[in-house]
Amino acid sequence: MSAQAPASEVDRIKALLQRSSEALADVHDYRGTLVKRERFGDELIAQTMEFKFARPFKVYVKYLEPYPGREIIFIRGANRNKVRAHKGSVPDIPVSLRPFGRICMQGNHHPITSFGLKKMLRVAAHSIRKGIARGDSSVHLSDGGMVLGDPTWRIEMQTKTGGRHVTVQGSENLWALAKRVGQDMYVILHHNDDVRSPRDVRPGQKVFVPRYYGSRGEFFFSKRTHVMIKAVTWDHLGQLYESYELKGLELNPGLDDRDFDYRNVDYDFVSR
């Protein structure tokens, strides 16, 4: 791991994170195509999906690969805070699902409630600022070249692997423990081979909690919009953990309620 960046470079990194946060404050809705790769054990699973997002929190997702035709809508505060979904294959029955439940989380590191540019920036910025503050990480800013059609800046971060063991309390599951210790649930699950699911823990059990989200990260920010358009993270074993690319990202396209209505004739939630 190379030496920590000089103070002037650290200031530029902090300024870029701040500019990106300020840019998102002016974004009320957006749409694009998400290409993601996420590690589950020894397997990297790739998925491609079209998405729409509007504040305060409305999400529409249509899978292209590997589940063509699958659609999901989540609106915070609506439908009893459940995900409305249909799988796009026979029998294709619309259902309402708990966002943190087994079905919704299958093949996903993150729940739909964490979807969006703001959360993606928050996760990266938290690790970067933590690494700078602790002084135990290498954080550098460079020209990222052309990424997804935009000129970019790149923030690269490398951390020391390590963490601590935390005791499960009372009726805690891994979601509750993760919230208590301030770490992502799936990061904890990924680094505990003896834990098979978020509910597979018992009171008094020791769970390893990594200090950082990943051992290495590369984050690409559009020079045109200051928005992060690509994030790549490696786990504490040095394996690619997850990668997110936002293709064709349109900011403030003017989405309305119809874009998040399952009765929209352009969607396939309702048989016609």
> Which residue in the block uniquely carries the two structure tokens 């035709």?
69
C-alpha distances (whole Å) from 239 to each of 43, 83, 204, 226 are 11, 31, 30, 28
DSSP letter at 86 equals E
- The pLDDT assigned to 3 comes to 56
Taking the model in full, what pTM does it have?
Answer: 0.94
Residues 254 and 246: beta-carbon distance below 8 Å: no
Res 4: pLDDT: 63
Looking at the chain, which residues constitute the CATH 3.10.350.10 domain(s)?
163-210
**CATH number of this structure's domain 163-210:** 3.10.350.10
CATH number of 7-160+213-260: 2.50.20.10
Residues of the chain with CATH 2.50.20.10: 7-160+213-260
Tens-of-pLDDT digits for all 272 residues of the chain? Answer: 555 677 789 999 999 999 999 999 999 999 999 999 999 999 999 999 999 999 999 999 999 999 999 999 999 999 999 999 998 887 888 999 999 999 999 999 999 999 999 999 999 999 999 999 999 999 999 999 999 999 999 999 999 889 999 999 999 999 999 999 999 999 999 999 999 999 999 999 999 999 999 999 999 999 999 999 999 999 999 999 999 999 999 999 999 999 999 999 999 997 75
- Angle, to 10 degrees, between the axis of helix 117-134 and the axis of helix 7-25? 160
Q: Which residues make Cβ contacts (< 8 Å) with residue 11, sequence separation at least 6?
A: none
- In one-letter notation, the amino acid at residue 240 is L
Q: What is the pLDDT of residue 272?
A: 54
